[in-house]
Amino acid sequence: MIKIILVITTLSLSFVGCKTDKTTTANHLIFRYNESANISSLDPAFSKNQANIWAVNQIFNGLVQLNDSLEIKPDLAKNWSISADALTYRFIIRDDIYFHKHIGFGTDSTRKVKASDVTYSLNRLLDPNVASPGGWILQNVTNIETVNDSVMQIKLQKPFPAFLGLLSMKYASVVPKEIIENPNIDFRTNPIGTGPFKFKIWEENVKLVLRKNPMYHEKNNAGEQLPHLEAVAISFLPDKQAGFLQFIQGKLDFISGLDPSYKDDILTQKGELQSKYQDKINMITGPYLNTEYLGFRMDGDDNVVKDKRIRQALNLGFDRKKLITYLRNGIGTAATSGVIPVGLPGFKDNIGYDFDTEKAKKLVLDYKKENGNKPVIVNLATNASYVDIAEYLQREWQKIGIDCKVDVTPPSTLRQAIATGKVSFFRASWIADYPDSENYLSLFSDKNFAPNGPNYTHYSNSAYNALYQAAFLETDTEKRHILYQKMDEIMIQDAPIIPLFYDKVVRFTGKNVTDLGINPLNLLVLKHVKKTN
C-alpha cells in the first residue's frame, strides 16, 4: 500500500511545477490512467503491444487514420490516389503540420513536415539495423519515394485492398530524421512527433507525462482546437486490482477491460453496472475485432466432422445468447453471422445459425440413418481457459444426439496440434491485425493452408476462392465489402467453423469524462476528451 501512495504522490507532484501561461494546470485538464503492462518504448517503430500503442497514439500521426467506425480518414496526408492497377499509392502531404518543438531542430526549434519525412519513416521500418517488429506491414511494398516536398508515393508488388489500413497502424507514424539520428538523443525515451500531445517526462515504471501540443493541426466538428486536455498522466501499477481501487477513489479517470479481481464487483451477471456504481461511473461498450470460434479440420481423418450435416447441427445446437449471459457476464455478441465480427466493414447480420434444436436433431437423425445408427461422437480440443464454455456446449449437444468429448491441452501444444492437423475439432480465435475483413477471410483461402498460412481448417471452395481473388483487384470500397459478404455467406453455410461470439471492448470512466469514444481496435484516442470539475 505504501508503494501505491508513493506513486500517486509522485504523479501529483509532477504537476505542481507544470505551468500553462504561468497558471498551475487544473486537475480537470489532466487525464489519468494506469498502464499495468508497462511501456517498453515510445518509438512508434516498436509499438507492438497495446501499452506502447496507446501512448504512441497521443504523440504521433501517420499518413492516414481511422475513425471510430474504422473508416480510413486523412491525417498527415490531405488526400491520396490509387492507380488503376492498384499498385501505386500517391499521397499529398499537408503543408500546415509541424513537429513538436525540440532543440535538435536548431534555432527555430521546429519545422514543417515534408513528404521526405514520410519516406524516411517508412523506410526506417525496413532497416535491419532498426529491427522494427513492424516491418511486416510493408512486405508487399517494392518502392517508397519522395516526388517533391508535398508528394510521396508507394508502389506495391501486387494489389492489396487493405494496404491503407496497414498504414493507419502506429508503426507507420512519421518521425523526424535529424532527431532520430542525433547521437545525443535517445528517441525511445525522448520522442518527437506531430500528435496532439508532446512528450514531457518519463520515469520508467513510475510515471509518464505528456503535455498539450499547442500547434496541433486538427479541430473538432465545432471548429474547436484539439486537444481539449492540458496533459495526460500515466502511472504503472502492475496490480490491476490496485489500479481499479485508484479508479474507484477518483484518482484515475479511466480503466479498460475486465479482470477477474474486480469483474463481479463492478458488473452484474448480465453485464450491467452494479447499482452502487451507477451514479459514479460511465460504462462504454462496443465491438472488438476478435472472433471466438471452434474449427473443423476439413481434410482430416475424422469422417464425423467431415459431414456438413454434423457441422451444421453443432452450429444450431446451442444458445449463443445464453452462453454470453452466463459465461461472459454479458460481454460479447452472439455470433449468429460469419467470421467477420461486428464493427468491421463487411459484416453482414444474420447469415449464420440461430439456436434451433429441432432442426439440429433432424440433421443428426439423417446422419445416423445413413451410418447405421451408430453413436455420433466428436472430440473437442481446447485449453483450460475455455473449459467452462466447452462443458456448456457438451451438455447442449448431448440434447441433440451428439456426444462431445473434451480434451484439455496446454495452449502452446494446442496451437501446434491445430497447425499440423493433429486435431479434427478445436477451439480458436482470430484478432484482427489490421481493420479490413480480408484479414478474417484469409483464414479460408486454399492458398493459405496451415502450417504455411492461417487456414487451419483446410477449407476449400472454388466459388469462395474466385471471390477472394476478385476482392484483391477491387479498389471500390463498397463493392469490395459486398464481395466480402458473399464470401462469408458461402463459407458459413459450408460450416468449417462454429462462430461462438464476437468480443467487446469495455471501458469505464468517471462521470466527469466525456467524448472518450470507443472503437473496435480498442485504440485509445484522447484528443477529443473533455473533463469537468
For 63-123, give the secondary structure using H, E and C.
CEEECCCCCEEECCEEEEEECCCCCEEEEEECCCCECCCCHHHCCCCCCECCHHHHHHHHH
Residue 5: pLDDT over 50: no
Longest dimension (CA), the chain: 87
DSSP 57: H
Q: Which pLDDT band, with edges at 50, 70 and 90, does 214 fall under?
A: very high
**What mean pLDDT do residues 261-277 have?**
89
Secondary-structure percent of the chain, ordered helix, strand, coil, rounded to 5: 30, 25, 45
Contacts with 94 (C-beta within 8 Å, 6 or more apart), sequence order: 76, 77, 78, 113, 217
DSSP 307: S
pTM: 0.76
pLDDT tens-digit readout, 105-160:
987 799 999 999 999 999 999 999 999 988 989 989 999 999 999 999 999 998 88
Q: Which pLDDT band, with edges at 50, 70 and 90, does 418 fall under?
A: very high
Burial of 323 (0-12, 13-18, 19+ CB in 10 A): buried
> For residue 17, what pLDDT is reported?
43
Residue 4: pLDDT over 60: no
Going by DSSP bridges, is the β-strand pair 88-93/141-148 parallel, antiparallel, or unpaired?
unpaired
Give the containing element (helix H, strand E) for 46. Answer: none
Helix 308-316 to helix 357-370 angle, to the nearest 10 degrees? 160
Please report, rounded to a whole number, the percentage of residues in the chain having pLDDT higher than 70.
Answer: 95
**What mean pLDDT do residues 303-312 have?**
97
Residue 327: pLDDT over 90: no
Phi, psi at 497, each rounded to 5°:
-135, 165
**What mean pLDDT do residues 271-293 have?**
93
Any bridge partners for residue 321, and if so which? none
Q: Which three cell numbers stand for residue 115?
A: 513528404
> For residue 25, what pLDDT is reported?
55
Residue 178: pLDDT over 60: yes
> For residue 145, what pLDDT is reported?
98
**What mean pLDDT do residues 161-180 have?**
94
Distance (Å, whole) CA 65 – CA 60: 11
> For residue 127, what pLDDT is reported?
95
> For residue 287, what pLDDT is reported?
83
> For residue 225, what pLDDT is reported?
95
Mean of pLDDT over the chain: 91
> For residue 9, what pLDDT is reported?
40
- 522's torsion region: left (phi>0), alpha (psi -120 to 50) or beta? left
Distance (Å, whole) CA 509 – CA 121: 35
**What mean pLDDT do residues 366-385 have?**
94
Residues in the chain: 533
Helix, strand, or coil (residue 249) = coil
CA–chain centroid gap for 127, Å, is 26
**What mean pLDDT do residues 526-532 have?**
96
Residue 520: pLDDT over 80: yes
Q: From 505, 314, 303, select the one nearest 393 (Cα to Cα).
A: 314
Distance (Å, whole) CA 495 – CA 296: 9
| Contact of 379 with 425, CB cutoff 8 Å | yes
